[in-house]
Amino acid sequence: MEIVTKSAKETQKLAELLAKELLVWPAPGNRTLVVGLRGDLGAGKTTFSQGFAKGLGIKEKIQSP
Protein backbone atom coordinates (compact mmCIF):
# COMPACT_ATOMS: atom_id res chain seq x y z
CA MET A 1 0.00 0.00 0.00
CA GLU A 2 1.22 3.49 -0.77
CA ILE A 3 -0.16 6.63 0.83
CA VAL A 4 0.87 10.02 -0.50
CA THR A 5 0.51 13.13 1.65
CA LYS A 6 0.60 16.64 0.23
CA SER A 7 1.91 18.65 3.19
CA ALA A 8 3.95 18.32 6.37
CA LYS A 9 0.81 18.77 8.45
CA GLU A 10 -0.93 15.97 6.55
CA THR A 11 2.11 13.70 7.03
CA GLN A 12 2.16 14.37 10.77
CA LYS A 13 -1.58 13.71 11.09
CA LEU A 14 -1.28 10.43 9.18
CA ALA A 15 1.62 9.32 11.40
CA GLU A 16 -0.29 10.31 14.53
CA LEU A 17 -3.32 8.26 13.49
CA LEU A 18 -1.10 5.28 12.63
CA ALA A 19 0.58 5.41 16.04
CA LYS A 20 -2.77 5.52 17.82
CA GLU A 21 -3.99 2.53 15.81
CA LEU A 22 -0.84 0.56 16.61
CA LEU A 23 -1.29 1.22 20.33
CA VAL A 24 -4.54 -0.75 20.29
CA TRP A 25 -3.47 -3.28 17.66
CA PRO A 26 -3.47 -6.73 19.27
CA ALA A 27 0.02 -8.15 18.90
CA PRO A 28 -0.10 -11.92 19.45
CA GLY A 29 1.91 -13.10 22.43
CA ASN A 30 4.80 -10.98 23.59
CA ARG A 31 5.88 -9.71 20.18
CA THR A 32 7.46 -6.38 19.44
CA LEU A 33 6.60 -4.20 16.46
CA VAL A 34 9.42 -2.35 14.73
CA VAL A 35 8.67 0.52 12.38
CA GLY A 36 11.50 1.63 10.10
CA LEU A 37 11.68 4.78 8.00
CA ARG A 38 13.78 5.06 4.89
CA GLY A 39 14.09 7.88 2.39
CA ASP A 40 16.22 10.57 0.85
CA LEU A 41 17.14 13.81 2.58
CA GLY A 42 13.97 15.89 2.84
CA ALA A 43 11.64 12.94 2.29
CA GLY A 44 9.69 13.60 5.49
CA LYS A 45 11.11 11.04 7.92
CA THR A 46 11.47 13.55 10.76
CA THR A 47 8.06 15.07 10.03
CA PHE A 48 6.52 11.59 10.14
CA SER A 49 8.39 10.79 13.36
CA GLN A 50 7.08 13.96 15.00
CA GLY A 51 3.48 13.00 14.25
CA PHE A 52 4.10 9.38 15.27
CA ALA A 53 5.57 10.47 18.61
CA LYS A 54 2.57 12.72 19.23
CA GLY A 55 0.26 9.77 18.58
CA LEU A 56 2.18 7.74 21.16
CA GLY A 57 1.82 10.53 23.71
CA ILE A 58 5.47 11.57 23.67
CA LYS A 59 5.84 15.22 24.71
CA GLU A 60 9.54 15.75 23.94
CA LYS A 61 10.51 17.59 20.77
CA ILE A 62 11.52 15.19 18.02
CA GLN A 63 14.52 16.39 16.02
CA SER A 64 16.32 14.94 13.06
CA PRO A 65 19.44 13.00 14.04
What was the pLDDT predicted at 1?
Answer: 82
Which has more confidence, 27 or 56?
A: 56
What was the pLDDT predicted at 27?
Answer: 66
Amino acid letter, residue 48: F
- Which of 29-33, 50-54, 57-61 comes out lowest in average pLDDT? 29-33
Model pLDDT for residues 4-47, shown as the tens digit of each residue: 999 999 999 999 999 999 888 776 676 788 889 999 999 999 99
Structure pTM? 0.85
Cα gap 31→49, rounded to integer Å: 22
Cα gap 17→30, rounded to integer Å: 23
